[in-house]
Structure 1
Amino acid sequence: MPELDSSSMTNPGSKRSNNEDCFLSLPAQDLWMVADGMGGHDAGEVASAIVRDTLAKYPDLPLSESIQRAHQAILDAAANGIGAEGMGSTIVALKHHGENFEIAWVGDSRAYQFTPELGLQALTTDHSYVQMLLESGAINSIDAESHPDKNIITQCLGSQEMETVRVDSLTRPWQPEQWLLLCSDGLTDELSHAEISAILQRYRTPDQATRELVKAALNAGGRDNITVQVIAAPSQPKPSMRAALAHWVPIFTHSRRLDAIIYTLALLVLFALLYWTIF
């Protein structure tokens, strides 16, 4: 099976000297991931790197299982003096399964799907305080975009209060011309849904789209680390000439070959009559 066309990029942003985000891109293993670390300098980046390295170590495990292992790996690292106590990370990961894809996530890093026809659609739901308010009806979607507590998350990998984390996941079929976008909140805090959709609509390759999304987020302020991955759906094989022509053959019998012969003979008779009539 050919590898999927994809592009990944991370940037510390305009306001921070260190980058607590990281990504994993393993097209040969059909695996992509974005992690957003937290815990300050020399802690957040340690946590997100542990998540990346754990998933890279277990590319064949179900996403939910490898994510649980990453959670435990962060706890073990902190207990052994690596990084810092209380460090953690979000995660959003993609696994390609032939005709389907799987998304799994913890925290507020997000996944979206995009098609030229339908535009941008969210696939994930944040594990955040503002999302809880939204679901309870206490605020609306407009309030959520500018809420002062929008970056408070309700769970993350490495949380010492949780023996295991709740990994949300979904599996969907690939659609023609579909792109999947994985990103940290450094992108979605700077660009609106409509702005992201417009950029994806404008560019033809994952590489172009990834670069322009990061550039736009930096131009909008770049107040946080920014990580973006764009993964294109498997290319659809072009039908053969024979298959394309067979689509136009009417059904006369239970044999497509016999139908094609009858239809061809009918066309030849029609052309002969037309030729005889005209000339």
Structure 2
Amino acid sequence: MPPLQSYSITDKGLQRPNNEDCYLSTPDLNLWLVADGMGGHEAGEVASAITRDTISEQVEQGNTLEQAILMAHTNVMQAIESGQGGEGMGSTVVALHNSGTDYDIAWVGDSRAYVWSITAEGGQLDQLTTDHSYVQMLLESGSIAAEEMETHPEKNVITQCIGSFDNPNIQVDTLNNKWRPNQWILLCSDGLTDELSNQEIAEALCHASSIEDAGDKLIAAALDHGGKDNVTVQLIASPQQHNIPRTTLMQSPWIILALLAAFGLIAALAWWL
């Protein structure tokens, strides 16, 4: 089976002096990931790079994503203890490993994975991951409603990350799904989801002509909305890609009915006048 088609892009944003995000795109290993470092200059980028490199090495050795992420957690903590990077540094991660007919996703923190299913009418966006965040915990406990999450003052507080000594036994969440025809998997840092709602992400994807165009559109939209954080986007296409004729405006029965009604109104007005 040929390597999956993919596209990766990152930007430091408009307000940060450096980029603490990083990504890995290794089609030959069937491995992709986004890591969002934290801890400031010469710390966050160190943590995310250790996370990326460790997971790549571990998967190449035949370990699962979960095992690879747990090893990355250990390596970041050891780096802190040896004086590499800085105290308090850490990283989130979301990773995808392709197995041919299906794929595994694993994550820690609030970097996300979505699936975009292309249809004749446009497409459907579904969030695959659940954030390890304080507002998610409040939502699950019933303390806040879903619509309050985006405006909550502590929306960016995460409950676990790679390299945290406060939580040495992190819980790696995982999922396994079958590939479906005409799907794209989107991996991203919170620099995207803090700026764009799921609806806005879906709209950008709906207007994209390719995964490259989709990635560029998402980055541009995040920057247009303020670009307050580093932003990283990866898109991985399903191995089952088929041409789907998109419904044009004139092919839609609702548009045709609306146009007929409009023409009828114009004719009636012309007759009346």
Fold agreement, TM-score > 0.5: yes
Give % identity: 55
2:99 corresponds to:
97
Task: Write the distance in 2 (CA, Å) between the matches of 1:237 and 1:204.
Answer: 14
- The structure 1 segments of at least 4 consecutive aligned residues displaced by more than 4 Å after TM superposition are none
Task: Write the distance in 1 (CA, Å) between the matches of 2:48 and 2:211.
Answer: 24
Match of 2:173 among 160, 168, 173: 168
Q: AA paired with 1:102?
A: D
Displacement after TM superposition at 1:223 (Å): 0.2
2:20 corresponds to:
20
Structure 1: any 5+ residue segments left out of the alignment?
A: 239-279
Displacement after TM superposition at 1:203 (Å): 1.1
- Distance change >3 Å, CA 30–CA 54, structure 1 → 2: same
Checking the alignment, whether the CA contact within 8 Å between 2:179 and 2:240 is kept in structure 1 is no
TM-score when scaled to structure 1? 0.83
Checking the alignment, whether the CA contact within 8 Å between 2:182 and 2:242 is kept in structure 1 is no
Task: Write the distance in 1 (CA, Å) between the matches of 2:188 and 2:241.
Answer: 26
- Computing the radius of gyration from Cα coordinates, the structure with the larger value is 1
Match of 2:227 among 222, 243, 251: 222
Match of 2:200 among 181, 195, 201: 195
Q: Which moved more, 1:191-200 or 1:54-63?
A: 54-63
* 1:111-135 superposed Cα distances (whole Å, 9 cap, x missing partner): 0001123511000000000000111
2:154 corresponds to:
149
Q: How does 1:9-158 map to 2 (within 5 A)?
A: 9-59=9-59, 60-117=62-119, 119-158=124-163
Q: AA paired with 1:228?
A: V
Displacement after TM superposition at 1:237 (Å): 8.3
Count of aligned positions:
238
Checking the alignment, whether the CA contact within 8 Å between 2:55 and 2:68 is kept in structure 1 is yes
Calculate the aligned-residue CA RMSD, in Å: 1.3
Task: Write the distance in 2 (CA, Å) between the matches of 1:218 and 1:125.
Answer: 24
Q: Which moved more, 1:156-165 or 1:102-111?
A: 156-165
Q: Secondary structure at the match of 1:23?
A: strand
